[in-house]
Amino acid sequence: MKKFRKILSLALAGLMIAGLAACGTKTPTTPTETATFKAGTYDGEADGFHGKIKVKVTVTATEITDIKVEHTETEGLGDKAVEKIVEMVKVNTSLKVDAVTGATYSSKGILEAITAALKAAGADVEKLKAKEIASGETKGDVEKTADVIVIGGGGAGLAAAVSAHQNGAKVIVVEKMSRLGGNTMISGSAYNAADSSRQSALTMTALEKQTVENIIAGTYEDALVKTWQETLKKEWTEYLASGKTTLFDSPSLHKLQTYLGGDKKGTPELIDVFADNAYPAIEWLESLGMEFKDYVFTVLGGLWNRAHKPEKPLGTGFMETYENYLEKNKADIEVILDTTAKEFIVKDGAVVGVACEGKNGKVTLNATKGVVLATGGFGANVEMRNEYNTVLWPDLTNVKTTNHTGATGDGIVMAEAVDAKLMGMEYIQLLPMGDPVTGSLSGNIEQGVQNRIFVNKEGVRFVDEGARRDTMTKALMEQTDAYMWVIVDKNSYPTGDTKNNFNETIDDLVAAGRAFKADTLEDLAKQIGVDPVAFVKSVEDFNKAVDGAAKDEFGRTLFDKKIDTAPFYAGARVPTVHHTMGGVSINANAQVIDANGNVIKGLYAAGEVTGGLHGTNRLGGNALADINVFGRIAGKNAATMK
């Protein structure tokens, strides 16, 4: 997440009136004007998603002439909400402005800050909140036709749109939100793929060797999975014979860890395609202009050092890459926002389009070749979560989510209406890494799995911090108030301006009270309210395991550095809903399968709207690989298959 300091001014120089710089300076009104404000410049502030949003609003007696904003909202998401709302308020002299979908906290913050300033200017705030804004849009029904229709403008949908166009199709992307991005935009951006080049910088540990050997020695029933086992055994034998000491990895190991990580419930045919194409999809993204850092790391619940990190924070690198391609090819790719897909259009047993509802009427989109469903999961739909949450978790009604507000399962419902088979709907993934206030991933101070520990409110470790996501979350739910502290030291943050995986500096997090800093473990324990004796012992025991002087009490196998160098840091975390593994069934060609096991002609799907790949539990870092691998496949096949 890119956190930045930005000054925004939307005023035109010609509109500035001399003397307005000083607060409270009055400008006389003409007899025909009705005074709305006391002319001058006024300050206002409110809480945004990442801290205070501060504004300076300049008004005449009847107009808002300038709004300057200082904020630290997310680049590509929160900042866009701020810009849009500032423009709408200023142009319309109205506070009756809708929040920007997907950026609720940023929208609320900027509106509250502007409201405070206008209140200081003597405005009738309630009257401004009731003032209508003219849309200026043409009303009426619309019908359009393209070769491929893509439903959903997140990562999977845009990967499909780009791929379809590369394979000769004219494309329309329809998105219900007022922006593109979906969950991809607000993701942590980790992308799993076996990559010998980047992994050659890492040294294989004895515990990692044992992990590979345990996987090879496992018992597998599925014929395809057995071929992975045999391939891995051969690769491992060759690795040992070579005398190499660098980190071992291969698509075969990735497949087996994905399969085992989902309790052998994942569909082997999908896993096979997924892992074989994960790195080629990175190369595809790079060919489109995307840049990745030259190292890999282990993301939370990823189980192995194969997560790639984009150069740009959050999902901005992915989205900018897709959107740049769309912009260059806008003659062939149309994007329609604020338009909700309602139902598929079916003719002679084939899906040939989608009926949508726009802000001003019906929108009918016809596909001459295929339709790609890429609407994401249902993590933000509490009712739907509760309907399907029958296996893994207690009541999730009051559990927040990392998902954007549009992740409500609409596409799954649409697909079910045309007899698509649903699978794995009961498998809902929670993380132990939610912000206690928002449920989001922002504010998380971990930099990677190897160099941090978790302690509960008593200051005691309670789980293997390198385990599966469901394992860690279940353990957290058993702790006091289901609340924990992530503990790191200077090894994770060499300087105060070092940023976390969401582009937030540790100094800013400490200043905002979202993290705590101390020069001793005892002082840190005091600041976060845990027992100092138990806390210090937890850290010391962990450090002994890092040294190999003692076996880790929770069986942890992923280590790097000890936590022994001041300053020490702590950040609070709680369980949060993150991913829904279930969805519509697809085959290796990304074609949607019906309840009888047959292909639904003309309908393809990719991303979190699908089920089958991850089984009961998704490995951290597999989602962004999933959306690009199967988005690319879905787009190509929608454009070319008959």
Tokens of 231: 């391939």
* 110 touches 80 (CB < 8 A): no
Distance CA 235, CA 250 (A): 8
**Residues 196-222 as b or e (16 or more Cβ within 10 Å = b):** eebbeebebbeebeebbeebbeeebee
Q: If 0-12 CB within 10 Å is exposed, 13-18 middle and 19+ buried, where does residue 515 land?
A: buried
CB 62 within 8 A of CB 84: no
Tell me: cis bond preceding 310? Omega within 30 of 0 counts.
no
Closest by alpha carbon to 612, among 255, 265, 183? 265
**Can 385 be counted among the known catalytic residues?**
no
Torsion on CA atoms 467, 247, 286, 613, rounded to nearest 10: -40
What is the residue whose two structure tokens read 């609003």? 57
Phi, psi angle pair for 156, to nearest 5°: -65, -45
Beta bridge partners of 428: 580
The encoded tokens of residue 424 equal 């794995």
d(CA 379, CA 614): 16
Residues 6+ apart with CB under 8 A from 238: none
Dmax (CA) for the chain in angstroms is 93
Q: How many residues does the chain have?
A: 642
Task: Say if CB 365 and CB 380 are below 8 A apart.
Answer: no
Residue 529 three-state SS: coil
**Which of 146, 78, 142 lies closest to 109 in space, CA to CA?**
78
Question: Is the Cα torsion angle 492, 495, 496, 500 positive or negative in sign?
Answer: negative
- Which residues make beta-bridge pairs with 518? 568
> Is residue 314 a contact partner of residue 102, using CB atoms and an 8 Å limit?
no
The answer to whether residues 616 and 389 touch, using CB atoms and an 8 Å cutoff, is no
Check: CB of residue 190 under 8 Å from CB of residue 353.
no
Q: Closest Cα partner for 600 from 345, 403, 390, 254?
A: 345
- Do 116 and 44 touch, CB atoms closer than 8 A? yes
Give CA separation, 155 vs 179, 373, 629, 632, in Å.
Answer: 12, 12, 11, 10
Q: For tokens 């790719």, what's the residue?
A: 333
Could you give the CA distance from residue 268 to residue 90 in angstroms, rounded to a whole number?
Answer: 55
Angstrom CA distances, 199 to 97, 245, 294, 443, stand at: 49, 11, 9, 28
Collapsed DSSP state (helix, strand, coil) of residue 421: coil
The answer for 401, left when phi > 0, alpha when psi is -120 to 50, beta otherwise, is: beta
**CB 631, CB 158: distance < 8 Å:** yes
d(CA 471, CA 430): 10
**Candidate list 469, 514, 618, 632, residue with the active-site label:** 469
d(CA 193, CA 275): 7
Would you please indicate which residues are annotated as catalytic (active-site) residues? 469
